[in-house]
Structure 1
């Protein structure tokens, strides 16, 4: 993906469909549309997956909480959401085997009655997972639970119920969708801010006016149809197209804290089934750390980035502490992150945590804008299918959806043993080779190739992590990395797992990028200073 080449095409060509928003839903729509034969443009105000789609709990799941609510409240909309999630779970795992994998989750219980309750519930969850290869749930003894998660509080533990869902690297999965769409013919570009629309004599949208936030100029992308996939920001785009539309979204903020891996000291994740506000909370191993999340609070503002604050940090730590033998040392907080859920609601009296994570495709009869509203990561493909089915109807086409079996970028000819070949051929350390395969899949060799001509590119960005200099060069040239945060937060996940190490290796990353992008000394310093200031503010907000 080359940004300058994309900009030239966006300025000079006309498209069948222009998609605004390159998170999971927008990227899913772009891939679906281009595979159906449409000429597609996809743009984002910031980087790909820079908002909600990179700030999830990293789970591919039907939603255990939705299942419980469905039976407790006889809410069959929740049941439909579980079924859709579990139907899509195996597809998400199958189509990007390097970025998504099964995850074992333990639910610790304090009595046999509680154990029976969760075992029955998770057996029902299993029955919804048809055509699925994941193991079924099991009720384990206290000893079996402690063998798997040795840090749990023995005194309060009776037994545990083990079940399986999937885990993904959300930002890179979204990038793989954009890459796959681009390689199938779509034109993708990041850092294009929508400032308005052009309309024909009938008032229908025929162009998207954008400003290049990197280079400055405004231009118009001509398109027969415009699809709004901006998640929690959807109302802004809807009202820009038609100010008479009512607002539809109730954004909800969710945050995660990231602690050392030793907090659980296990490759097993944990589901905490009871919290003070009626949610479930997960403790999940991710990228060599342990992540706890998430919260659910009404969001007052969508204009500033959702970040972790001190009270949210304390809530999540207090939720996990009763289950642990040793209390968490909060001074060991490594990082944290927040995001906004795009929840749909027609009833302002409902709390956000009671809202269903379902989606809706809205067509504005006045402007012709199509908006994909609501939804969640696991069902991104189904959401995209529904949206492009609607596009078919509008454009008087009838095309088959081909995404169910479309292997994503890096998944083609994927060999789990590729890391051994990288160690042998390029003399890379084992942990570096494994990391490259888990991030780039079958394309890991392309990253490693850079080290053949320049051995300094084998050097680690941080002594504590397997990320190497070659990745910076590769991602700038092939994955449209424009700013240091694109690389450190989303191409590798260092920002969300270790703030201090991110600050330490930021100058190295920025200087490597400067060589590729032609930054002078003052621009390189500005890039370092801007991102450094942002990270330090995150640390201050969290009271870390």
Structure 2
């Protein structure tokens, strides 16, 4: 039996303007009620952003920090789609360097350095090792990665080098030794994607942006032939809002075509989705702190095995699709491919029974002007498009370059919306949670917010109790996520704030009852809400359990 005794005064307090500002700066006032109140009292904005993934949130930060009145609307939770389903790497892209896209790699390496500077609580230097089985490979990869380091310049994390076989085995004890000559070591960045997305939302709010999840844009409004606003519906209440803006930004990832059709129903598709699947294994499969990079798989891709939150994340695939959804499902053949490839390199061969969680994400790749099933022919660079109506659409790109994409969007928005010319300052803005010294305790991922969670536990000792004896998470974290991180559902907590669903699906199911009960107390919901949440979450979590996805789903997913 769990104890759920705590003070709920924060939900009742009336904040003065100065108090609200102070509380917003430490995250206490980052909640839907605060933002809905602002929405009810204001209908005109400089910039409205549709989409709460990496790109949309980056645009919100850029817009708000330049001083524009900024509103972001997300149909689900922040980073629900692609932006929470990456390989968790902040990198220039060794694969793109091999393809000769030097400009993209240079840009991404510069942005990688800025992310480490502005969000050191989330971004860290990760050592990668490429196993070498021929002398030709040694010189090829060492030369390429030395050039990679040169492109990074002062933003570099560390110099690449060749390691002898003994040092490679010491760094990756689970690596097969047969035929191994040594390895090429290089450094890149690692992060928690969904938590960075959340911190970007909080950063935009700290600069007076209004940020709302579960607010779906249902249509665009026009003045003459120009887009002048949106109609948005609150998913929780069904209430509609008519909102006007000098410029509208469509940053909805794989859903950009749906917004474009609201503007021009007969327009051609802009995005070609590509699915990337990942599996998660116990850390015993990749002992040590180094990550494994397999530079060329049987289909010419790159595969990573990366330590992440005490587990091992392995992926990814690259499967062109003809359909998209908020909850894409990994294909059986994708899982088989990852397991087979990892098994070629690891002494402890992973099987389907070893998979703790499996998930897939859809990349919003800018579609080419011809039919193709090869994702190699689809650009990873971002595309910025302005319709005749003035609607600005941003698509393509990758997590690492979200800030540069946002800067390009705002520069264009100033032009299209005839806004006051203001310089981009986001390269020097510390992201919410900023903390120079990276902590090593269980609350490290919260950065400076960890102190606020500790205060909760000090004021209410019962909140120090664990959610479940087998897991490290405590009750205070759930309370904090509801009060200060805008969590509205059990899924919001376990999938994108705690990340348990992505790490251990069975564990997430075990934690769900305790999470639901705490959330119900915070949100003033009844037992019926708790039952509905648990049914919905268990149904969702079943798709992350491997035995639920081991069927070919080509017809369902529209695989090309």
Q: Which of 347, 371, 386 is residue 408 of structure 2 equivalent to?
A: 386
* Paired position in structure 2 for 1:272: 294
How far residue 304 of structure 1 moved from its aligned partner, in angstroms, is: 5.4
How many correspondences in the alignment? Answer: 518
**Contact (CA 8 Å) 1:148, 1:268: kept in 2 or not?**
yes
For residue 402 of structure 1, report the CA deviation from its aligned partner.
0.3
Q: What are the residue-to-residue correspondences of 1:306-317 with 2, within 5 Å?
A: 306-317=328-339
Give the 3 Å change call, closer, same or farther, for CA 304–46 of structure 1 in structure 2.
closer
Q: TM-score, normalised by structure 2?
A: 0.90
Q: Confirm whether residue 502 of structure 1 aligns to residue 518 of structure 2.
A: no
Q: Is the 8 A contact 1:148 1:266 kept in 2?
A: yes
Q: Which residue of 2 aligns with 1:121?
A: 144
**1:408 is matched with which residue: 426, 431, 441?**
431
Describe the superposition over 1:85-132 as per-residue Cα deviations: whole angstroms up to 9, x where unpaired.
Answer: 111110011111111111000000111111111111111111110222
Distance 1:21 1:130 in 2: 33
Task: Give structure 1 stretches of 5+ with no counterpart.
Answer: 71-77, 420-433
With over 3 angstroms needed to count, the CA separation of the structure-2 counterparts of 1:464 and 1:142, relative to structure 1, is: farther
- Choose the corresponding residue for 1:436, options 443, 446, 459: 443
Give CA-to-partner distance per residue, 1:240-263, whole Å, 9 cap, x none: 122232211111010100010110
**Aligned residues: CA RMSD:** 1.4
User: Bigger shift: 221-230 or 384-393?
Assistant: 221-230
1:524 is the counterpart of 2:530: yes
Residue 139 (str. 1) matches residue 162 (str. 2): yes
Residue 16 (1) aligns with residue 46 (2)? yes
1:481 aligns with 487
Q: Given the alignment of the two structures, is residue 176 of structure 1 paired with residue 182 of structure 2, yes or no? A: no
Matched residue SS, 1:62: coil
Q: CA–CA distance in 2 between the matches of 1:65 and 1:87?
A: 17
Question: 2:549 aligned with 1:542, yes or no?
Answer: yes
Alignment match, 2:175: 152
Q: Distance in 2 between matches of 1:349 and 1:529?
A: 40
Please list, as runs of the form range in 1=range in 2, the aligned pairs for 1:97-496 lying within 5 A after superposition: 97-200=120-223, 202-303=224-325, 305-344=327-366, 345-349=368-372, 351-365=374-388, 367-396=389-418, 397-411=420-434, 413-416=435-438, 434-437=441-444, 439-496=445-502
Q: TM-score, normalised on structure 1?
A: 0.93
- Identify the residue that residue 558 of structure 2 maps to in structure 1: none
2:72 counterpart (38, 42, 45): 42
* Structure-2 residue corresponding to 1:54: 84
1-side partners of 2:472 and 2:333: how far apart?
Answer: 33
C-alpha separation in 1, matches of 2:373 and 2:491: 36
Deviations 1:361-418 (A, max 9, x none): 11111x211111111000000000000000111233321100001001110x54335x
- Quickly say closer, same or farther: Cα 1:127–1:82, change in 2 above 3 A: same
The superposition leaves residues 33-69 of structure 1 with CA deviations (integer Å, 9 ceiling, x where unpaired) of: 1111100000101001111111000001111011111
CA distance in 2, matches of 1:537, 1:85: 33
Q: CA deviation at 1:350?
A: 5.7
User: Does the 8 Å CA contact 2:501/2:544 hold for their aligned counterparts?
Assistant: no
> Could you report, residue by residue, the CA deviation over 1:178-203 in whole angstroms, capped at 9, with x for unpaired residues?
10000100001100111101111x22
5+ residue gaps in structure 2? Answer: 1-29, 552-560
Deviations 1:316-345 (A, max 9, x none): 010111111232233111001111101112
